[in-house]
Amino acid sequence: MANDYRQFMETITLEAGKLLRERLDDLHTVQYKGEIDLVTEVDRLSEALIVERIRRRFPEHGILAEESPAVAGGSDCRWIIDPLDGTTNYAHGFPFFCVSVALEVEGEIRLGAVYNPMLAELFVAEKGAGATLNGRRIAVSATAHLSRALLATGFPYDLRENRDNNLAYYRAMAKHAQAIRRAGAAALDLAYVAAGRFDGFWELRLMPWDMAAGTLLVAEAGGMVTDLAGEPHQLRSPHILASNGLIHREMIDLLAATDPLDPL
């Protein structure tokens, strides 16, 4: 049955990604959920497509998706969906975004897929079976020191109102890492850690759909995922630290030594 779930997940993720790519150059309807937290009509179209496919195939399954109310379902299976991670990028025509779909069974993420339709790159992970990119096995990087590491991060949507906004952590990391990228799609950042393109990633106040598939990808590619203090990461944990494992302790120690409310 795992193969059936995996094939189904890959199919719906690719289908949603195709929709995103085809509509990228459209004139989008943009609405704001917060000061800088936006949603487009394509987010909703992508989510509707994925949810409809799941409800038709697995009507008893639960669904947790970014743009609609949660569906409890009547089984131990729950799909966790980000129909368009990188909405701000998408609305501006910046081609760094993805679709993220994960399957949780009895509280554990068993399958995850992240698809970048602009590069036709499908990252897939299965619990205990490794992680792949377009069918080829991937692994985290071998970078052993933070000073040689390329990191990724992002900033929370309440950046303007909340002093605990990652700016202090960013400044500290920028002084110790080789470089940092802030591309604007957490699920894709995690997939890139799994593929060895980034050596580490951290972010504050993410939601489960931002992380579900990506955390499995990193773990199955041989990396490490924790909270910022190094404790086991849970989907309900809003803060995340992911790495190749080799630089994880350095990142934890640097974050611990940094006052997150330190003014710039």
Q: Do 97 and 188 sit in the same domain of this protein?
A: no
The encoded tokens of residue 21 equal: 């790519």
Same domain, 153 and 126: no
What is the number of helices (H) and of strands (E) in the chain?
7, 14
Q: Report the first-to-last Cα separation within the chain, whole angstroms.
A: 52
Q: Are 124 and 150 in a shared domain?
A: no
The pLDDT assigned to 259 comes to 87
pLDDT tens digit string along 22-67?
A: 999 886 777 776 665 667 889 999 999 999 999 999 999 999 998 8
CA gap 155, 166 in Å, rounded: 6
pLDDT at position 39 is: 77
pLDDT less than 50: residues of the chain: 1
Q: Are residues 198 and 73 in the same domain?
A: no
CA distance 7 to 124: 10
Q: Is residue 200 part of a domain?
A: yes
Q: Are residues 50 and 156 in the same domain?
A: no
Task: List the one residue out of 127, 117, 92, 107 whose CA is nearest residue 188.
Answer: 117
157 and 184 in a single domain? The answer is yes
Are the C-beta atoms of 244 and 200 separated by less than 8 Å?
yes
pTM: 0.94
Q: Is 154 in the same domain as 124?
A: no
- Residue 110 within any structural domain of the chain: yes
The answer to the question of residue 235 being in a domain is yes
Q: In what order do the strands lie in the sheet with 98-105?
A: 62-65, 77-85, 98-105, 108-116, 121-126, 130-133, 136-137
pLDDT of residue 21: 97
Residues 12 and 76 in one domain: yes
Q: Measuring CA to CA, which residue among 254, 89, 74, 229 is closest to residue 177?
A: 254
Q: Are residues 7 and 78 in the same domain?
A: yes
Q: Are residues 120 and 163 in the same domain?
A: no
Domain annotation covers residue 262 = no
> Looking at residue 33, what is its pLDDT?
65
Can you tell me the distance from the alpha carbon of 228 to that of 204, in angstroms, rounded to the nearest whole number?
9
Residue 264 is assigned to a structural domain of this protein:
no
Domain boundary among 93, 120, 137: 137
Domain housing 171: 146-256
Residue 186: what pLDDT?
97
Contact in structure between 16 and 9 (CB atoms under 8 Å): no
**Predicted local distance difference test score (pLDDT) of residue 38:** 67
Number of domains the chain is built from: 2
Specify the pLDDT at position 34: 60
Domain containing 22 — which CATH number? Answer: 3.30.540.10
pLDDT value at residue 67: 84
User: Could you say which of 113, 137, 161 is where a domain stops?
Assistant: 137
Listed residues 84, 116, 137: the one ending a domain: 137
Per-residue pLDDT, 35: 60
Query: Does 20 share its domain with 121?
Result: yes
pLDDT score, position 230? 97
Of 76, 79, 45, the residue nearest 209 (C-alpha): 79
* Residue at 261 is within a domain: no
